[in-house]
Chains A and B, each alone.
Chain A
Amino acid sequence: GENVEQHPSTLSVQEGDSAVIKCTYSDSASNYFPWYKQELGKGPQLIIDIRSNVGEKKDQRIAVTLNKTAKHFSLHITETQPEDSAVYFCAASTYNYGQNFVFGPGTRLSVLP
Chain B
Amino acid sequence: DGGITQSPKYLFRKEGQNVTLSCEQNLNHDAMYWYRQDPGQGLRLIYYSQIVNDFQKGDIAEGYSVSREKKESFPLTVTSAQKNPTAFYLCASRLESTDTQYFGPGTRLTVL
Which residues of A are in contact with B by a Cβ distance under 8 Å? 4, 6, 32, 34, 36, 41-46, 49, 51, 89, 93, 98-101, 103-106
Q: A32-B99, A100-B58, A101-B101 given as contacts; is B45 within 8 A of A41 (CB)?
A: no
Contact between A106 and B41, CB atoms less than 8 A apart:
yes
Q: A100-B45, A100-B58, A104-B42 given as contacts; is B90 within 8 A of A44 (CB)?
A: yes
Bound form: Cα–Cα A44–B35 in Å: 11
Bound form: Cα–Cα A105–B42 in Å: 4
Chain A contacts of B58 at CB under 8 A? 100
Chain A contacts of B105 at CB under 8 A? 42-43
Q: Interface size of B by Cβ–Cβ distance < 8 Å?
A: 23
Return A100 CB to nearest CB of chain B, in Å: 6
Tell me if B's interface is mostly helix, strand, loop or mixed: strand
Return B52 CB to nearest CB of chain A, in Å: 17
Tell me if A's interface is mostly helix, strand, loop or mixed: strand
Bound form: Cα–Cα A34–B102 in Å: 11
Chain B contacts of A99 at CB under 8 A? 99
Query: For residue B101, which residue of chain A has the nearest CB?
Result: A101
- Asked if B103 CB lies within 8 Å of chain A CBs, one says yes
Contact between B90 and A101, CB atoms less than 8 A apart:
no
Starting from the known contacts A43-B106, A44-B43, A44-B103, 20 additional A-B residue pairs (CB-CB under 8 Å) come to: A32-B99, A36-B103, A42-B106, A43-B4, A43-B104, A43-B105, A44-B90, A46-B100, A49-B99, A49-B100, A99-B99, A100-B48, A100-B58, A101-B43, A103-B44, A105-B40, A105-B42, A106-B40, A106-B41, A106-B42
Contact between B42 and A46, CB atoms less than 8 A apart:
no
Bound form: Cα–Cα A34–B90 in Å: 17
Chain B contacts of A45 at CB under 8 A? 103
Chain B contacts of A49 at CB under 8 A? 99-100
Q: A41-B106, A42-B105, A100-B58 given as contacts; is B42 within 8 A of A89 (CB)?
A: yes
Chain A contacts of B56 at CB under 8 A? 98
Chain B contacts of A43 at CB under 8 A? 4, 6, 90, 103-106
